[in-house]
Structure 1
């Protein structure tokens, strides 16, 4: 069972959906939606959300998501759910307003990219970056540095990076390349039936904190894709300050 989300927190998840092809080799978008529903997330970052060959049509069709109560950040191109397979969706009715988004080219031998969406929440603005890094170690490190440089040019606000980092090591191999970000302890998410590799990760910056994080391995996640989704309950700085104020008031009436 997924933990119940505490009021005021923002639950974010990341899920490599492998073009909606499960371990039974069937492409079943509605099965992926079933996994999304189980996460009880406000925002989900997706990888491999589009088919591989041009014009890269959506593997997870927007009408299917809309029918299930999800909204989609329109990164284009037309017919695709995301950009370079990266997409960001959020739950209809969640206290979120999409105010800004961008495509982020990444260096390397393989065609890779990231996407950025900024939301207004009840506790202020939050920046969400979804990514899918390369298979080559040198490229991954260069992509992390490029992304860190990109973020350094933006206003310093609560920021989360989430996606398939393609990093097998449980050592802090990525941290030194993005010193302003704090990576949550990696947990095995791949392959889905018997997870061994912590490929899917979440990193926080700009004062953002997590009250909990984990891997969701419930049905049908163990056979809907080759990855399991990861999640984190995020605490924005404004909520931390509010709660600290309540504590201080209790200690010093």
Structure 2
């Protein structure tokens, strides 16, 4: 089984020019052509549902899985996954901490070519103490031999405890710079795969469109079991 994975913080479809343009995000998703894409900061301003997610899924012909962390009358906001595989079981995790922006994760089983894969897609908090608590909760959930953790971890410190804990479970994974998209300095967006030997390659998706569409660049990985 060979799959292409990607994680992409779409910044509510607001590009570096300050313009809201879902069409640019659609174009980047088409460039990625991934089997499973974890999305962060999926926003639906001025609406009462998840219209943006459904639009993106329709345009790229992938199945949407919603994981909103803010549910409001003016619109929903949070995480999502787009996939061409078959979602077998989906569980939403609340990783919110008192006094901080609500955070969560999508913990799902995906069926691909007769195999089962556990994928957790997340967007962690900005404070170090938040991330430590959130990573502890996430790592308790992994139960399958074949599994993936991906998303915007907001971890600025490559030597921080959360990353050390993740490496104990998943082993080493490249830390590639994805933020800010114009001149990437920080490896905020990450993909880990278990077993680590199944990772064939990983790369930052740098194109003229991806540099403009969001303040993050997408991260893309090819895996084979």
Q: Does 1:176 align with 2:164?
A: yes
Structure 1 residue 166 and structure 2 residue 154: aligned?
Answer: yes
Cα-to-partner distance string for 1:122-150 (whole Å, 9 max, x where unaligned):
26111111100000011111110111123
Instruction: From the superposition, tell whether residues 66 and 97 of structure 1 become closer, same or farther in structure 2 (CA, over 3 Å).
Output: same
Q: How does 1:143-162 map to 2 (within 5 A)?
A: 143-151=134-142, 155-162=143-150
Q: Give me the whole-angstrom Cα distance separating, in 2, the residues matched to 1:19 and 1:28.
A: 9
CA contact (8 A) 1:141 1:177 kept: no
Q: How far apart in 2 are the matches of 1:193 and 1:207?
A: 30
* 1:52 Cα offset (Å): 7.3
Residue 79 of structure 2 corresponds to 86
Aligned-pair distance for 1:63? 3.1
Gapped regions of structure 2 (runs ≥ 5): none
Q: Is the 8 A contact 2:38 2:150 kept in 1?
A: yes
| Cα offset, 1:119, TM superposition | 1.0
User: Is the counterpart of residue 131 in structure 1 residue 122 in structure 2?
Assistant: yes
Larger Rg: 1
The match for 1:26 is: 19
Alignment deviations for residues 163-193 of structure 1 (CA, whole Å, 9 cap, x no partner): 1010122336433323212351111100001
Aligned partners of 1:134 and 1:150: how far apart in 2?
18
Contact 1:106–1:114 (8 Å) recurs in 2:
yes
What does the per-residue CA deviation read over 1:108-129, in whole Å, with 9 as the maximum and x for residues that have no partner? 2331111122111126111111
CA contact (8 A) 2:2 2:224 kept: yes
**CA 1:225 to 1:74, structure 2 compared with 1: closer, same or farther past 3 Å?**
closer
Q: Deviations over 1:191-241 (max 9, x none)?
A: 0011001000011235672100010011200010000000111122xxxxx
User: Structure 1 residues 53 and 206, CA, compared in 2 at 3 Å: closer, same or farther?
Assistant: farther
Could you tell me which residue of structure 1 aligns to residue 65 of structure 2? 73
Corresponding residue number in structure 2 for 1:3: none
Map 1:47-58 to 2 at 5 A.
47-51=40-44, 57-58=49-50
Equivalent residue pairs, number: 219
Give the TM-score of the pair, scaled to structure 1.
0.78
Any unmatched runs of 5+ in structure 1? Answer: 1-7, 237-253
In structure 1, the partner of 2:188 is 199
